[in-house]
C-alpha cells in the first residue's frame, strides 16, 4: 500500500485570494485593523504561522489561544462566503489524476495542508474533489508542517489492516515547505510548479520528482507504481 498526501492550495486548486480575504475580514472584525494579511507570504505556511505573522504585523505581539479560537471561528464563516463567490481554479490534470488513483487498490489518498481542517473542507467541497481523500493532516493539528504530515501518516496507518504498513509515502505540493517538511517526515517528495514557485525555485530544494504541472497525468501516475 502507498500513501499519497496532497497539499491543497496551488497543488489541487486555487481560490483566487478567498483565504486572504477571509483572514483579513476576520481580523478586521475582531481587532478593527484592515489588511492584516498585507505583506504576508502565505504560500506553504500553516494557518497558525500565518496567524502569528498577522498578530505580529498588526499588533506587534503573538495571539492567545482564546484569540485564535475566535479568529478561526470568524474566518471559516467568511471563508464559506468568499469561497462560494470565488472563481475556483482546479489545477491541470488533477481531477483525472485523482480519479485514476482512487480506482487503485494499492493507493490511499490523503491531505497534508496548512489549512485548518474546517477551512480545508470548505475549499475541497467547492472543488467537488473531497470524496477522493480518506485521511488528512491539517494546520489545526500543528503549526509545523512536518508535524501535521506525521499526523496524517499516523491517521492513515490506523486505517490499514493488521501487520500492513505503507511501502512508500509521497508528499505532493507546490512550495519548498512541502519538499523540506515532506522529506523530514520520511516521504518521497513530489513538487509541482502550479503555485507561486517556479520549476527553478523548486529544483533548488531537490524534490524527488518535479513537474511543471500534472496535466500529463498518465505519465505522472507512473511514479506511484
Ligand atoms: Mg500549497
- Residue 44 CA, ligand 1 centroid: distance in Å: 5
Tell me: do 116 and 217 sit in the same domain. yes
10 CA to centre of ligand 1 in angstroms: 5
CATH number for 206: 3.40.50.1000
Q: Residue 142: which domain range?
A: 2-15+89-224
* Among the listed residues 197, 181, 15, the one whose alpha carbon sits nearest the alpha carbon of residue 112: 181
pLDDT of residue 120: 98
Do 76 and 119 belong to one domain? Answer: no
CA of 163 to the centre of ligand 1 (A): 33
* 174 Cα–ligand 1 center, Å: 5
Contacting residues for 162 by C-beta, under 8 A, at least 6 apart: none
Kindly state whether residues 175 and 68 are assigned to the same domain.
no
Could you tell me what percent of the chain has a pLDDT over 90?
Answer: 97
Reported as a single tens digit per residue, the pLDDT across 134-193 is 999 999 999 999 999 999 999 999 999 877 899 999 999 999 999 999 999 999 999 999
* 80-107: average pLDDT: 96
Q: Of 85, 113, 131, at which residue does a domain stop?
A: 85
What pLDDT, in 10s, does the model give residues 11-25? Answer: 999 999 999 999 999
Show the DSSP H helices in the chain as ranges. Answer: 18-31, 47-59, 65-85, 94-102, 117-127, 145-158, 176-184, 199-203, 217-220
Looking at the fold, whether 145 and 45 belong to one and the same domain comes out as: no
Cβ atoms of residues 138 and 118 within 8 Å:
no
Clarify whether residues 114 and 77 are in a common domain.
Answer: no
The reported pTM is 0.96
Based on the fold, state whether residues 193 and 116 are members of the same structural domain.
yes
pLDDT of residue 162: 77
In this structure, the answer to whether residues 96 and 203 fall within a common structural domain is yes
Q: Are residues 26 and 97 in the same domain?
A: no
Asked if residue 53 and residue 158 are part of one domain, the reply reads no
pLDDT of 164: 87
Do 174 and 93 lie in one domain? The reply is yes
Residue 219 has pLDDT above 80, yes or no: yes
**pLDDT score at 161:** 84
Q: Ligand 1 mean position to 204 CA, how many Å?
A: 17
Question: Is the predicted pLDDT of residue 197 greater than 90, yes or no?
Answer: yes
Average pLDDT, the chain: 96
CA of 118 to the centre of ligand 1 (A): 17
Cell 505522472 identifies what position? Answer: 220
Neighbours of 73 (CB within 10 A): 12
Q: What does DSSP say about strands 13-14 and 209-211: parallel, antiparallel, or unpaired? A: unpaired
pLDDT at 82 (0 to 100): 98
Q: What distance in angstroms lies between residue 127's CA and the mean position of ligand 1's atoms?
A: 15
Instruction: Please give the distance, rounded to the nearest whole angstrom, from the Cα atom of residue 41 to the centre of ligand 1.
Output: 11
Task: Report residue 70's pLDDT band, with 50, 70 and 90 as the boundaries.
Answer: very high
Under the banding of pLDDT at 50, 70 and 90, the label for residue 115 is very high
Average pLDDT for residues 197-214, to the nearest whole number? 98
Torsion of CA 20, 195, 86, 98, to 10 degrees: -130
What pLDDT score was predicted for residue 213?
A: 97
Number of domains in the chain: 2
- Give the pLDDT of residue 163: 79
Amino acid at each position: 500500500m502507498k500513501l499519497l498526501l496532497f497539499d491543497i492550495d496551488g497543488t489541487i486548486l486555487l481560490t483566487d485570494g478567498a483565504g486572504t480575504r477571509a483572514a483579513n475580514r476576520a481580523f478586521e472584525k475582531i481587532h478593527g485593523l484592515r489588511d492584516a494579511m498585507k505583506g504576508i507570504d502565505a504560500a506553504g505556511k500553516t494557518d497558525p504561522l500565518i496567524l502569528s505573522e498577522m498578530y505580529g504585523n498588526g499588533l506587534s505581539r503573538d495571539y492567545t489561544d482564546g484569540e485564535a479560537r475566535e479568529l478561526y471561528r470568524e474566518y471559516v464563516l467568511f471563508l464559506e462566503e468568499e469561497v462560494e463567490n470565488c472563481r475556483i481554479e482546479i489545477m491541470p490534470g488533477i481531477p483525472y489524476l485523482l480519479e485514476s488513483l482512487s480506482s487503485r487498490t494499492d493507493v490511499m489518498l490523503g491531505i497534508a495542508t496548512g489549512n485548518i481542517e474546517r477551512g480545508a473542507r470548505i475549499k475541497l467541497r467547492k472543488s467537488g474533489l473531497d470524496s477522493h481523500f480518506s485521511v488528512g493532516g491539517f494546520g489545526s493539528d500543528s503549526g509545523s508542517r512536518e508535524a501535521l504530515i506525521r499526523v496524517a501518516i499516523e491517521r492513515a496507518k490506523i486505517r490499514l489492516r493488521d501487520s500492513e504498513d505503507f511501502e512508500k509515502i509521497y508528499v505532493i505540493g507546490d512550495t519548498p515547505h512541502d519538499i523540506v517538511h515532506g522529506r523530514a517526515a520520511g516521504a518521497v517528495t513530489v513538487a509541482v510548479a502550479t503555485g507561486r514557485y517556479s520549476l527553478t525555485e523548486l529544483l533548488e530544494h531537490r524534490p524527488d520528482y518535479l513537474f511543471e504541472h500534472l496535466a500529463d497525468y498518465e505519465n505522472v501516475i507512473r511514479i506511484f507504481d
